[in-house]
Amino acid sequence: MQIRELTIPDAYEVTPKQFGDDRGVFLEWYRFDRLAEVVGHPLDLAQANTSVSRRGVVRGIHFADIPPSQAKYVTATHGAVLDFVVDIRVGSPTFGTWDSVLLDDVDRRAVYLAEGLGHCFIALTDDATVSYLVSSTYHAEREHGIHPLDPEVGLVFPEAAGEPLLSPKDAEAPSLAEAAASGLLPTWDAARAYYASLNEKGN
């Protein structure tokens, strides 16, 4: 398994080693110890989610209040999505920027993103199935969004995905600037302090 940090601090691409033969393929798509070596603490699993999306569906940009927010370990078990990590931590040196990873059932990569980061993906195939391991349970009152088509963020969706399809909730989400002005976004300092507390607990 290879783990590579993205251009957004505290987000990583995980590429598993696959073992194939005439029966099929075997792989480890999640190793808590290998991830903990890189992140500094184990991913404390609290919930597992799965979404199935038609081609062109956009889910996100989603995030939760910190602390505790919600760290995510995301992979595509069927089909393909382009997965985005967006730095929405006010004061971060990469605030407002993003990185992306192709998640599909060929290379079977995963993405880990720490608490306080924004997450989004667009489905590139029909029946794109995405599984998430997350560090805290869902609490609707602590969950927020940023409009995925906000030009200030500037996510680039592949033309092959077709017209982006948004849920009503995501279509009504504020822009990054509006979310920042309203005090909705996590801060870099709060995120770093929370990561440090997790590292101390993990050690």
**Residues taking part in catalysis:** 62, 132
- CA distances, 147 to each of 54, 59, 101, 173, 191 (Å): 19, 10, 20, 5, 22
Q: How many CA atoms lie within 13 A of 92 on its CB side?
A: 26
Strands lying side by side in the sheet with 2-5: 2-5, 11-15, 110-113, 72-78, 128-134, 47-53
Q: Which two tokens stand for residue 176?
A: 């990054």
